[in-house]
Amino acid sequence: MKNDLVIKILNNIADILELQDVPFKPIAYRKAAQTIESLSEDVEEIYIRGELLNLPSIGEHIGRKIEEIIKTGKLQYYEELKKEVPIDLEELGRIPFLGPKKIKILYQELKIKNLKDLEKALQEHKLLRLKGFGEETEKTLLKGIEFLKTNPQRFLYAQALPYVTKIQELLRKQSFVHKVEVAGSFRRGKETVGDLDFLVISSEPSKVMQVFTTMPDVKDILAKGETKSSVRLSNGLQVDLRVVADKEFGSAMNYFIGSKEHNVELRKLALSKGYTLSEYGLFKLKSKKWVVGRTENEIYQKLGLQSIEPELRENTGEIATAQKNKLPKLITNKDIKGIFHNHSTWSDGHNSLFEMAQKAEQLGFKFISFNDHYGSMAIANPLNEKRLVQYLKEIEKVRKKVNLRVFSGVEIDIMKDGTLPLSSSKLKELDVVIASVHMATKMPEMEMTARVCSALENYPINILGHPTDRLLNEREPLALNLDKIFEVAKRNKIFMEINSSPGRMDLDGLKVKAGLKVGCQFALSTDGHDINHLPAYVYGVLSARRGWLEKKDLLNCWDLQKIEKVMKK
DNA sequence: GCCGTTTTCGGCCCGACTGTTTTCAGTCG
């Protein structure tokens, strides 16, 4: 799978060209990179089919460059560009408030190529001599570097959620605040967020700014203006707030929910229909007359579109689909009738089977599936054949004490050779079999794909657990050809897991969408190791929605009888 | 460098805030 490499090289080329003041080409390269990013399959497959140039934003020149990357793993043009501009743009570009123009000056005047050079120059106060750089800039950069070193790049959705709630509550309490909404990637339900964006309607913006910038959690005020302020919370999370007029609220929401790519498409569509769209509203192009903007729905309607849910706004076809009135009817929290993949004290969970089942019942679920570890991962206290018998007896007892369906099952390790450590006949005695990769995770893509496919082909597996095994901010995904996995899973009627654990979120929304396109079906799981993990199923719902899932695509939304029938292998 | 129902040449989304500047460039979203 060379998609990531292609994306990285195209983006890096855009950075270098931008630094060289080359007009428009950077946009072209970034668009091309985005196209590859949105692919649901290996770009190499598309190339082999000769369909590379059919992709949007991939023309003759970039097409040839992608071909070279696919064939050789690198790109001569990029290597030469790098020689022209020997700067670590990736590293420097991550520093807040340091963009291409300043990076260019730093290199030309002080030969600064990387973070280390910059730190040294800052210590020696060399930047102060440069035109356009002052004491504030020096401080800003020092702070930015400090931030990079001490904070994770993005916050988990679940980490950000309590702050969203807190800030919303605080603002809503103010008599001069008429409306508060959160926008940004958080509103789109992305698994991680870079910052938080709030929109407020108020007749007294300055009071809002005062309350916002003096919240108890604020560590730094990054900007404070009449209608817009940014703060950094003590945990490092940046929060932006804008005050807008009632008349602009819908257009402002639309703009700040994004994604940027969705907005660009929407604005282009507006232009094509004789309008111009900004955060202030939809205007007639010629007369600049305000048309609509109070609500998002009005704007979408005026542009001839169905209303598009925030989770879909990633410019992966939602606008064209909305034009045809064919957007999916997305699942919601209340469609989830039960949850798969839960652990108890029989392996590495914190609560007993009964406590977990009881909690599930309290949450209103119609079923819970227990899938304690089975295999050789000693740290997880896995079941073995002997303990499995006791485990099943215990589940039988729990069934009599609670008023919901309790599925028996295991989460079994997929061994290095693609076998499972329990026979198919024994597995068939269980209600729900989840198989996951837990060890030997560094295998090359071909081997890893063959390993997982072999398990899927040869055992009565119901669900493939956390398919990529990635941990957000911590661990890269397995080297896996997901398209192949999707195809094999579909053929064997195996459901792909949407793991709701906040640090996993695996599969994520875009991959779910890719699987759906191939015809896969999905099962949402909590991967709960504690009764307090069970309510976290809502994060998985976000991924399912981002993956365009309807009730028919998600096992958890089906009738119990139908679930039982399809689990029988 | 890409793209096209105003097209094969000329356009490519748009505005707020900051700092250093004295009218605006850079950065961000």
| pLDDT of the residue at A68 | 95
The domain boundary, picked from A323, A345, A376, lies at A323
Protein residue minimizing CA–C1' distance to B24 = A132
Q: Is the predicted pLDDT of residue A35 greater than 90, yes or no?
A: no
Do A348 and A473 share a domain, yes or no?
Answer: yes
The dihedrals phi and psi of A418, each to the nearest 5 degrees, come to 85, 0
pLDDT of residue A100: 87
Nucleotide nearest to A31 (CA to C1'): B2
In this model, does residue A296 exceed pLDDT 90? Answer: yes
Residue A328 inside a domain? The answer is no
Nucleotides of B under 7 A from a protein CB: 1-3, 5-6, 11-21, 25-29
Average pLDDT over residues A471-495: 89
Contact A359, A372 (CB under 8 A): no
pLDDT top residue among A437 and A35: A437
Report pLDDT for A558: 98
Q: What is the pLDDT of residue A471?
A: 83
Same domain (yes/no): A38, A173: no
Amino acid occupying residue A178: H
CB count, 10 Å around CB of A489? 26
Scan residues 58-97 of chain A and list those with Cβ within 7 Å of strand B. Answer: 58-63, 95-97
By percentage, how much of chain A surpasses pLDDT 70? Answer: 99
Least confident stretch, A136-140, A177-181, A422-426? A136-140
pLDDT band for A322, please (50, 70, 90 cuts). very high
For residues A206 and A276, membership in a common domain is answered with no
Cα distance between the two ends of chain A = 32
Assigned domain for A548 exists: yes
In the complex, which nucleotide's C1' lies nearest to the CA atom of residue A106? B26
Could you tell me the CATH number of the domain that includes residue A129? Answer: 1.10.150.20
Distance CA A68, CA A399 (A): 60
A1 compared with A253, residue with greater pLDDT = A253
Q: Per the structure, how many domains does chain A have? A: 5
- pLDDT of A475: 73
**Residue-level pLDDT at A152:** 67
Residue with tokens 């599925």: A407
A550 strand B contact, CB < 7 Å: no
Contact A466, A497 (CB under 8 A): yes
- Domain range holding A120? 95-150
Residues A518 and A437 in one domain: yes
Q: Do A266 and A316 fall into the same domain? A: yes
For range A34-48, the mean pLDDT: 81
Identify the residue whose Cα has the smallest distance to the C1' of B27: A97
| For range A88-96, the mean pLDDT | 86
Query: Same structural domain for residues A33 and A139?
Result: no
- How high is the pLDDT of residue A118? 93
Asked whether the predicted pLDDT for residue A365 surpasses 80, the reply is yes
Any strand B atom closer than 7 Å to A56 CB: yes
Question: What is the percent of chain A with per-residue pLDDT over 90, rounded to a whole number?
Answer: 64
**What digits encode the pLDDT tens for the residues A536-565?**
999 999 999 999 999 999 999 999 999 999
Whether the per-residue pLDDT at A300 is higher than 80: the answer is yes
Span A121-148, mean pLDDT?
A: 88
User: A305 and A339 share a domain?
Assistant: no
Any idea which nucleotide's C1' is nearest the CA of A278?
B14
* A4 and A73 both lie in a single domain: yes
pLDDT digits (tens, 9 = 90+) for A78-88: 999 988 888 99
Give the residues across from A497 on adjacent strands: A523
Identify, with chain letter, the residue nearest to nucleotide B2 (CA–C1'): A57
Q: Which residue has the higher pLDDT, A475 or A405?
A: A405
User: Is a pLDDT exceeding 90 seen at residue A149?
Assistant: no
A272 CB neighbours strand B below 7 A: yes
In 3-state terms, what secondary structure has residue A491?
helix
> Does A40 have pLDDT greater than 70?
no
pLDDT-derived band at A1, boundaries 50, 70, 90: low
Say if residue A527 is in the same domain as residue A412: yes
From start to end of A343-452, where are the E strands?
367-370, 372-374, 405-407, 409-413, 432-436
CA of A56 to C1' of B3 (A): 9
Give the model's pLDDT for residue A287.
84
The pLDDT value given to residue A155: 87
Q: 3-state DSSP: chain A helix, strand, coil percent, rounded to 5?
A: 50, 15, 35
CA of A118 to C1' of B25 (A): 21
How much is the pLDDT for A132? Answer: 87
Q: Which of A28, A56, A85 is the last residue of a domain?
A: A85
Whether A377 and A474 share a structural domain: yes
Last residue of a domain, one of A270, A298, A323: A323
Q: Which of residues 222-251 of A touch strand B (CB under 7 A)?
A: 223-228, 238, 240
A314 touches strand B (CB under 7 A): no
CB atoms inside a 10 Å sphere around CB A355: 16
- What is residue A363's predicted lDDT score, i.e. its pLDDT? 96
Among chain A residues 172-231, those with CB within 7 Å of any atom of strand B: 184, 194-195, 197, 223-228
Length of chain A: 569
A500 and A515: one domain? yes
Count of alpha carbons within 13 Å of A191, Cβ hemisphere only?
25
A192 pLDDT higher than 80: yes
* Contact assessment for residue A366 and residue A327, using Cβ atoms and an 8 Å cutoff: no
Mean of pLDDT over chain A? 91
